[in-house]
Amino acid sequence: MLETGTIPWLIMAALQLAVIFRATLLEGRDSSARAAWLLLLIGLPVVGVVLYLLFGERWISKDFRERGRTTYQDLLPFAPAAAPDGETDGLTNNAFKTFEAASCWPTAPGNTAQLAPDSDTAITMLVADIDAATTRVHLSFYIWLDDNNGTKVVEAVCRAARRGVTCRIAADAIGSHSLIRSEHWSAMEEAGARLCSSLEAPLGLGFLVGHRLDLRNHRKIAVIDGRITYCGSQNCADPAFLVKESFAPWVDILIRFEGPVARQAEIMFASAWTFETGEDCRTAFEEEAPAPSPNGFKVIATGTGPLSPRGTMTHMFVSVLAAAQARVTITTPYLAPDPPLLSALIAAARRGVEVQLILPRRNDSRVVGAISRAYYPELARAGVRIFEFCGGLLHAKTIVVDDGLVLIGSSNMDRRSLDLNFENNMLCESAPLAGEVQQRQRDWLADSIEIDHDRATSRPLVRRFADNLLTMVAALF
């Protein structure tokens, strides 16, 4: 006969074993992530079970997945048609094909671009385009603050809505929490803008809406009149970034594009908007897609997230790194790569490519900052040159390959961007644009210190133990 006091313990033990079996049997998870969760479950039985149930899987309901895929597929017929193949290097072509497979549309030719000189000017450019809009303004930001730059965009949206421009405005429910509950959000609604608080979880209970609580819309998308779009790392905020001002200035990058790629970016926005609000946006695509410019270059916009096949963002990063033959320079604020991405970085350096990796010296996430440094020894031994930026928090996500290939967008090289968050990125083939972004990267390098190779690879025993433990648990972050 069991004593009453033992029953809760038996139930907890059974739950513990069930979760361990679940974590072990789950398909599609890489072995390092599996090992990290098993280590946590065994080392912290009760806490580990709670954390696994909340964050252990890309949990999304069947209905959420089906609605997300259906809204996207319904808009695919509006994507610009494929253009005749031009002269493209085979390795570069493979990278574009990887992005095409992820997005389900062809690369868009004939685009032009303008790199914003700084974050404040980027907002000034965006406001000018909103003020010139005649038909529609579509904006989606992860973080939108009610500071100087954030307010400028709010006021521009209000002006556009009052003169009859259709304004659809999306902001992440967590990242833009303070703005959504402010008078600025109400002001846009009163002016006639249509608003969406993205990925809300009522009462903090994600299962009520079919997804885990920390699923976030990390995208930064702006499309004006269907012909202008912006892409980069910048949120709608001042570089001072008041919510985390101790790490300021936040150093970002934003590029203004004109051409057919704007249609691709708008489809990404519209599919998410229809999914969340139920509004059918297909009337926005009745007009012809922007015509290619004869002096433009090819670009493809691609969105990823938990509805993508597992590993999609990793495959995109790997394809760009595989195209490098001479040099590649990377900036990312958060480095916690999965095994394929780490291997691609190492393989590029080992085959003789000059690989430069620029990370912020002070990171707003101490855990991810420590995890990033834990990878330094392995990367340094392979020949990767590692730099730490000292001029604030380098938040820009950029890759430039061999003076011609550019990847910019919202995706970090960490597990959230690789596996969970909704992200948007653009792959461009343009020597002039690559040169401009390279110059920006050189500016950041001038304000960086290079990590000494010997110090990175010769660690004390205690440091080596700590670093190895951090790389083991990196999959949890």
Which of 395, 414, 419, 467 is flagged as catalytic? Answer: 395
State the virtual CA torsion across 267, 269, 271, 275 in degrees, nearest 10: -170
- Report whether 389 contacts 359 (CB < 8 A): yes
Q: Which of 218, 252, 298, 467 is catalytic?
A: 218
Task: Verify whether residue 177 is a known catalytic residue.
Answer: no
First to last CA, the chain: 44
Contacts of 352 (CB under 8 A, 6+ apart): none
Q: Are strands 108-115 and 194-198 parallel, antiparallel or unpaired?
A: unpaired
| Closest listed residue to residue 157, CA positions, set 131, 183, 124, 135 | 131
Asked about 85 being catalytic, the answer comes back as: no
Look up 220 and say whether it is catalytic.
Answer: yes
In the block, tokens 């009453």 appear at: 4
Question: Which position among 120, 402, 447, 453 bears the catalytic label?
Answer: 402
Residue 117 CA to chain centroid, in angstroms?
21
**Known catalytic residue: 298?**
no
> What whole-number distance in Å separates Cα of residue 405 and Cα of residue 120?
26
447 is catalytic: no
- The H or E element spanning position 278 is none
402 is catalytic: yes
Q: Is 392 left (phi over 0), alpha (psi -120 to 50) or beta?
A: left
Please give the C-alpha separations between residue 260 and each of 18, 109, 115, 289, 345, in angstroms, as whole numbers: 50, 7, 18, 6, 32
Q: Which of 220, 298, 419, 467 is catalytic?
A: 220
Catalytic residue among 138, 152, 184, 397: 397
Q: How many other C-beta atoms are found inside a 10 Å radius of the C-beta of residue 184? A: 21
Give yes or no for a contact between 296 and 109, defined as CB atoms under 8 angstroms apart. Answer: yes
Q: What amino acid is encoded at 445 in this protein?
A: L
**Catalytic entry in 129, 146, 172, 225:** 225
Q: How is 282-329 classified by DSSP, letter by letter?
A: GGGGSSPPPPPPTT-EEEEEEEESTTSPTTHHHHHHHHHHHT-SSEEE
Residue whose token pair is 């948007």: 424
Could you give the residue numbers annotated as active site?
218, 220, 225, 395, 397, 402
